[in-house]
Structure 1
Amino acid sequence: MREHVRVRMYNVGFGDCFLLELPREQNTPFRVLVDCGAHKAGYPSEGWKPEVAVAQIIEDITEEGSDPTLDVVIATHRHQDHVSGFEAEAWRDVTVGEVWLPWTEDPKDKQAAVIRNRQSRLAHGLQLAFQQPGFNQRWSGVREGKTRIEALRALAANSLSNEAAMKTLHSGFRGNPVRRFLSTTNTKSIVAQGCENLTVHVLGPSRDPEVIRDMDPPAGQSYLRFGNGSGPAAGSAPDRPFARSFTLSPADYESVYEGGVSEEIKAAAVSMMRDDDLATAVSLDKAVNGTSLMLMFEFGEAFLLFPGDAQWGTWNAAMSDPDARELLARTTFYKVGHHGSHNATPVEFVEEVLPQDENVWGTATSVHPVGFWPEIPRKELLTELKKRSDRMVRSDKPGRSGNGVAVRSTIGVDFEVPC
């Protein structure tokens, strides 16, 4: 029996797809797939499709003379970059024991239905609005207009219902798998069927509307430019309070205001003040993230934290609960939340809860550069995480990092976490 847990991070670009293999008495390992999706704006290469990753997964879970089998499939939340791979027809031939989803996906839960329907209507409405000719015209006079349009459309597309993928998760696969809809209220922990040494602790999402609505970290809890909330980090560029569209040199200012404000500047000002669509798209994206599963896999001495895209409300609730905080403090492997975004890994977790480098075996960030999201992953966050463990890798950075961390450029990264 192996003395380690293998974690494979597939290179899906801007998305998440992880395969856990845990040793057990049988010849085959206990296999758990956590998410399988990629954002269309951040595929790892031109011409790549999620079916490429699915084919590799199926090859990896197929034993000689047997059908492909997964003991558990987990979808942390319904964003495109976490579930789009489940659209592939190849899943029809995969036998699955259980499927775990957040409680907001429970078709029998009335509160969940209200949340899903509201999010779906808003996503479709935004997508239609962003396709209107007037939308492009509105931003045509703004220097960052094209980038803003691309970002808005990407946010809306990511939050669509992803019906084909969700249909697979709700009713697909072979083997008539058991479906579990998890929350911190109805399930604190699960002892896995078929792997009695594995306990999975559910740290989120909550059913409390205030918790899943509380998505933005307060000052000092986000890895933004102002690091600890006390001021700019040493050597950093000064913060710009306004977009470059409103930045004038002294000479330009004199020429513009000598004869009054030009109509062009007036139009740009009005356009930039009307940010309802941006605020709505961003809020929708955060709302879906607020329902994300946050799971801790406990197997022997290995504690593997998979927070999906959980944001401040879920993190704060976990760190405020003594039992959950104790689990977080035992983390030996951390799947970096939300692709390294500033709003998914609180400063408190990294600096006060996460163990020091001798105990953190590795961290993994599944990401791919996207032009209109230049701050993902946050460099400040990755710098702080690297202080805790030198075994920190990104799915888009082939190479080797630390003992036991092999990076295969066409697939991703293999971690072998001691247990």
Structure 2
Amino acid sequence: MADPAPVKATIFAYQVGFGDCFLLRFDYDDASRRHILIDFGTTGLPENVAADFMLGVAKDIAAKCTERDGDRLDIVVATHRHADHISGFATKNGAGSGDVIAGLKPTVVLQPWTEAPEAPVDWEGPAGGDPVKAFAARKASLEGMHAMAKQAEDYVAAAKNLPHGLASELAFIGGDNIANRSAIDNLQSMSKERLFLFHGCALDLSATLPGVKIDVLGPPTLAQTDSIKKQKSSDKDEFWQFALRRFSDAAGSGNGSLLFPDAPRVLRSRLLTEQRWLAHRIDDANAEMMLGLVRSLDSQMNNTSLILLMRAGSKTLLFPGDAQLENWQYALQSELAPLLDDVDLYKVGHHGSRNATPRSMWKRFRKKNRKKTADRLTSVMSTKHGKHGSDDKHTEVPRRTLVAELDENSNLHSTEQLAADLPYDKIEIALD
């Protein structure tokens, strides 16, 4: 008996503010359905919503995954560990949004290879072509990530003593990197099958998701890309460009230390007039140092994002998480790059930031055009303006020029454009 064939894909793009939450449904020719939850998190809720908003989103996801007999949540994808992608998986005494998702008992959870819980800190990644299931030894890499997240937490706590503009940016970026241990632990335990993926790995989910081929374009392993190998060779304890030792050394003791940790803290009002300029400059230097370190951590974490390309019927769907240029560079030079030519749906990377939609990738999309043809590219973006970046520095997210390009050359769906009372945007794609 032949496997059922997918005939329609439906994407529910939830309005979670500054974050990502996509429920992907495949309808099959035998009337069965499959569901994939791709990320579930936020660091900036929509305006004027209740504190338990994410719990409501989780319940809606659960309702959609159990509408019919035989329906279920088949796959959970956590593209990377930033809070705006996983905070919704957090548990709370059995009644949190993450508890609702775990209660659906997904068949498999997919994460990047950098999240493998027992990988040694100096591991270069899987040597073979299969997704990783388990390791034999240490948990140092995961502990290293938690340690860096703790440092980010200390920085956020210290931000209240910094100049307002820098403090706001540090609090936002740092907050996205704070370890959400219950969410991470929940992802590790909600399914019996957990796969940790990397560029080009042989991912076969046909038993769970028949008729859908998933190619993993990123992240690459340290062994696959020369640029990362060169950086890694400078520090034997470095893991996926995370220089934990240098990060900690530069940051201080890990408890919010500043550039001048031994200097007495005094009120500026008690300083002589001619001394106050120095106090300002010391505080600014402390702020810039901490912000620079947190920005670096933020960037490297984005570059661990899964890049998943799904082919079903005649259509190709691309979900790249928050993958930035360094992650994309390897994929765009690989044997898998031609698969990007026929992308029909593009989940816009990193909420519309300027460095997550490389021009070299965008140029490959043959179905983008200014005419509203039947096969025109569809783009889907989850974002919230004003939460990240700077208009003055042209780093605002979403980037105005990118949004204009997406709007002009694709059928753009943005959660920012949804009415306040609409919980999600629903995009349907026929797969014939």
Give TM-score, length-normalised by structure 1: 0.76
Q: Which moved further from structure 2: 264-273 or 368-377?
A: 264-273
1:13 partnered with 2:17? yes
SS in 2 for 1:368: coil
1:170 partnered with 2:185? no
**Distance change >3 Å, CA 266–CA 147, structure 1 → 2:** same
The superposition leaves residues 175-225 of structure 1 with CA deviations (integer Å, 9 ceiling, x where unpaired) of x5311111115x1443432433100000001112767969xxxxxxxxxxx
SS in 2 for 1:196: coil
1:346 partnered with 2:366? no
The offset of 1:269, in angstroms, is 4.3
1:312 partnered with 2:316? no
1:326 partnered with 2:338? yes
Identity %: 26
How many residues are aligned here? Answer: 349
Partner of 2:284: 272
Partner of 1:355: 367
2: distance between equivalents of 1:149 and 1:212?
Answer: 33
Partner of 1:160: 178
The offset of 1:89, in angstroms, is 1.9
2: distance between equivalents of 1:60 and 1:153?
Answer: 35
Partner of 2:405: 384
**Distance change >3 Å, CA 371–CA 2, structure 1 → 2:** closer
Give the conservation status (yes or no) of the 8 Å contact 1:150–1:372. no
For 1:122-133, what aligned pairs fall within 5 Å after superposition?
122-132=148-158
1:103 partnered with 2:113? yes
**Distance change >3 Å, CA 212–CA 343, structure 1 → 2:** farther
Q: How much is the aligned-residue C-alpha RMSD, in angstroms? A: 2.6
Partner of 2:210: 196
Code of the aligned partner of 1:382: V
Q: Which moved further from structure 2: 151-160 or 105-114?
A: 105-114
The offset of 1:59, in angstroms, is 1.1
Partner of 2:314: 301
2: distance between equivalents of 1:412 and 1:211?
Answer: 41
The offset of 1:114, in angstroms, is 4.1
2: distance between equivalents of 1:131 and 1:193?
Answer: 47
Partner of 1:31: 35
Choose the corresponding residue for 1:58, options 56, 62, 67: 62
SS in 1 for 2:182: helix
2: distance between equivalents of 1:278 and 1:157?
Answer: 12
The offset of 1:64, in angstroms, is 4.3
1:207 partnered with 2:216? no
Give the conservation status (yes or no) of the 8 Å contact 1:102–1:292. yes
Choose the corresponding residue for 1:78, options 78, 81, 84: 81
2: distance between equivalents of 1:264 and 1:350?
Answer: 50
Give TM-score, length-normalised by structure 2: 0.74
**Distance change >3 Å, CA 148–CA 43, structure 1 → 2:** farther
Partner of 1:116: 142
2: distance between equivalents of 1:94 and 1:412?
Answer: 20
Give the conservation status (yes or no) of the 8 Å contact 2:382–2:416. yes
Mark the runs of 5 or more structure 2 residues left unpaired by the alignment: 91-97, 124-138, 230-272, 391-395
Code of the aligned partner of 2:294: A
Code of the aligned partner of 2:378: G
The offset of 1:3, in angstroms, is 3.6
2: distance between equivalents of 1:410 and 1:335?
Answer: 19
Give the conservation status (yes or no) of the 8 Å contact 1:211–1:314. no
1: distance between equivalents of 2:226 and 2:206?
Answer: 27
The offset of 1:28, in angstroms, is 2.6
Code of the aligned partner of 1:287: Q
For 1:131-280, what aligned pairs fall within 5 Å after superposition?
131-132=157-158, 136-137=160-161, 139=162, 145-172=163-190, 176-184=191-199, 187-208=201-222, 267-274=279-286, 275-280=288-293
Partner of 2:253: none
Give the conservation status (yes or no) of the 8 Å contact 2:320–2:347. yes
The superposition leaves residues 85-108 of structure 1 with CA deviations (integer Å, 9 ceiling, x where unpaired) of 112322342131111111111123
**Distance change >3 Å, CA 151–CA 116, structure 1 → 2:** farther
Mark the runs of 5 or more structure 1 residues left unpaired by the alignment: 140-144, 215-260, 400-407
SS in 2 for 1:82: helix
SS in 1 for 2:58: helix
SS in 2 for 1:95: coil
**Distance change >3 Å, CA 25–CA 353, structure 1 → 2:** closer
Give the conservation status (yes or no) of the 8 Å contact 1:190–1:201. no
Choose the corresponding residue for 2:384, options 365, 368, 374: 368
Code of the aligned partner of 1:362: T
The superposition leaves residues 128-165 of structure 1 with CA deviations (integer Å, 9 ceiling, x where unpaired) of 24424xx544x3xxxxx223212212222211221111
Give the conservation status (yes or no) of the 8 Å contact 1:188–1:203. no
Code of the aligned partner of 1:97: T
